[in-house]
């Protein structure tokens, strides 16, 4: 992710932190300072946030290491102020595998809470607990807070709504009995229903709940659409939407050439070659951007997107769809028999999906007529 800094590597997975995380730290320092807290107190609060930071990484590592059992690699783990993000190469589709990968995250928080729970005295009455929580972080209640946060994190992640782990757990459980995209749709609806409750309840209590509700409603929809799309692509190979004729531009040409190509052709995405060998891509938006920033005499090799994604013509389209989503590529090179056979244009893919959607609807209508 852009604006992220690498902290290190654990189990061969890069751990990154997004720069906005520093804003969170500054915010904590600021509110503590304004509340007239001492330097030690502020330091403790920051230390507490850092301990949560480690907690979140451990939660994501839980998912990543469980996925590794099923030979699914994790690209990286990034820590954002709103939580962690583990970019798995793919989500396991076997129900049992998805279930275990989804459960592994919250299980880390439950374990951390249990381990901390052994060593601390947990207040017996709720008044006592509230008192402990209202006085801010201090050496006496540091681990009590850590215990509670892990308890809440486990509970929060187990809410049965996408994109929370609980949503995946529900989907996995339903998938034992039904097709995956149907299970996803049901799980998404359950999640959205709960999220609606969050929003209504949040209006009277806390705006944070309203935000979480909106986040869940959108996240659930994205997940349902994604699975639906993958279902529509089932059975097709990359080869089926391969484009053999497509515009190419040499990297030594200028933006001026690229602009005329945009105006003359139907294509929006172009393959850039150097001595006939593919070296990158350039899309319409990037060409317009380069024209504005660098002028029409800029060379293409200076502005092209060098991130070239290769797809195997024989691979399943539904799997390649994930690669495309992950790389946000608009033009991919398709290889067949160790040769570049053509390209896959994302615009084409979208059309292909739309057509299959209509076809699926027609067969559905026929059934119920
Ligand atoms: Zn999780």
Q: Which pLDDT belongs to residue 84?
A: 79
76 is in an annotated binding site: no
Q: What six digits make up the tokens of 120?
A: 């601390």
* Separation between Cα atoms, residue 67 and residue 112, nearest integer Å: 20
In DSSP terms, 17 is beta-bridged to: 5, 79
CA distances from 212 to 152, 165, 172, 194, 255 (A): 14, 14, 23, 11, 44
Query: pTM for this one?
Result: 0.68
Q: In the chain, which stretches have pLDDT less than 70?
A: 1, 81-82, 131-135, 363-369
Q: Where exactly does CATH 3.10.580.10 map onto the chain?
A: 238-359
239 is in an annotated binding site: no
* Separation between Cα atoms, residue 223 and residue 8, nearest integer Å: 30
Tell how far the Cα of 91 is from the centroid of ligand 1, in angstroms. Answer: 13
Query: Is residue 60 flagged as an active site residue?
Result: yes
* Separation between Cα atoms, residue 67 and residue 311, nearest integer Å: 23
Tell how far the Cα of 152 is from the centroid of ligand 1, in angstroms. Answer: 13
CA distances from 300 to 134, 258, 275, 355 (A): 60, 8, 14, 35
Tell how far the Cα of 140 is from the centroid of ligand 1, in angstroms. Answer: 29
Tell how far the Cα of 59 is from the centroid of ligand 1, in angstroms. Answer: 6
* Separation between Cα atoms, residue 96 and residue 260, nearest integer Å: 53
364 is in an annotated binding site: no
Q: Which pLDDT belongs to residue 110?
A: 94
CA distances from 230 to 63, 223, 296 (A): 22, 11, 40
CATH of domain 238-359: 3.10.580.10
Among residues 318, 314, 310, the alpha carbon closest in space to that of 344 is found at: 310
Q: Summarize pLDDT for 206-234 with one digit per residue, the tens.
A: 888 888 888 888 888 888 888 888 888 88
């Amino acid at each position: 992710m852009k604006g992220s800094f690498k902290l290190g590597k654990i189990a061969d997975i890069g751990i990154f932190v997004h720069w906005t995380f520093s804003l969170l730290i500054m915010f904590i320092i600021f509110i503590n300072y304004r509340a007239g807290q001492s330097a030690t107190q502020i330091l403790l609060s920051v230390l507490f946030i850092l301990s949560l930071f480690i907690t979140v990484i451990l939660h994501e590592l839980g998912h990543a290491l469980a996925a590794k059992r099923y030979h699914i690699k994790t690209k990286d783990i990034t820590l954002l102020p709103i939580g962690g993000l583990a970019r798995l190469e793919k989500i396991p589709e076997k129900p049992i595998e998805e279930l275990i990968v989804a459960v592994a995250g919250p299980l880390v928080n439950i374990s951390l809470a249990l381990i901390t729970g052994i060593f601390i005295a947990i207040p017996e009455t709720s008044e006592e607990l509230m008192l402990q929580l209202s006085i801010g972080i201090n050496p006496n209640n540091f681990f009590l807070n850590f215990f509670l946060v892990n308890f809440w994190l486990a509970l929060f992640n187990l809410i049965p709504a996408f994109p929370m782990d609980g949503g995946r757990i529900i989907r996995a459980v339903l998938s034992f009995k039904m097709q995956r995209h149907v299970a996803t749709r049901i799980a998404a609806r359950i999640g959205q229903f709960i999220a609606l409750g969050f929003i209504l309840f949040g209006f009277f209590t806390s705006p944070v709940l309203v935000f979480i509700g909106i986040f869940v409603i959108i996240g659930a929809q994205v997940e349902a659409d994604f699975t639906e799309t993958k279902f529509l692509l089932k059975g097709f190979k990359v080869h089926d939407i391969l484009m053999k004729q497509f515009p190419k531009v040499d990297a030594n040409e200028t933006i001026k050439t690229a602009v005329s190509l945009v105006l003359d052709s139907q294509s929006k995405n172009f393959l850039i070659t150097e001595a006939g060998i593919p070296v990158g891509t350039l899309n319409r938006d990037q060409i317009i951007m380069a024209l504005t920033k660098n002028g029409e005499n800029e060379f293409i090799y200076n502005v092209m997107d060098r991130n070239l994604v290769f797809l195997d013509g024989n691979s399943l389209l539904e799997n390649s769809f994930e690669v495309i989503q992950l790389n946000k590529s608009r033009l991919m090179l398709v290889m067949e028999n160790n040769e570049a056979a053509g390209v896959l244009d994302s615009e084409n893919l979208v059309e292909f999906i739309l057509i299959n959607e209509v076809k699926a609807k027609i067969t559905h209508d026929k059934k119920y007529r």
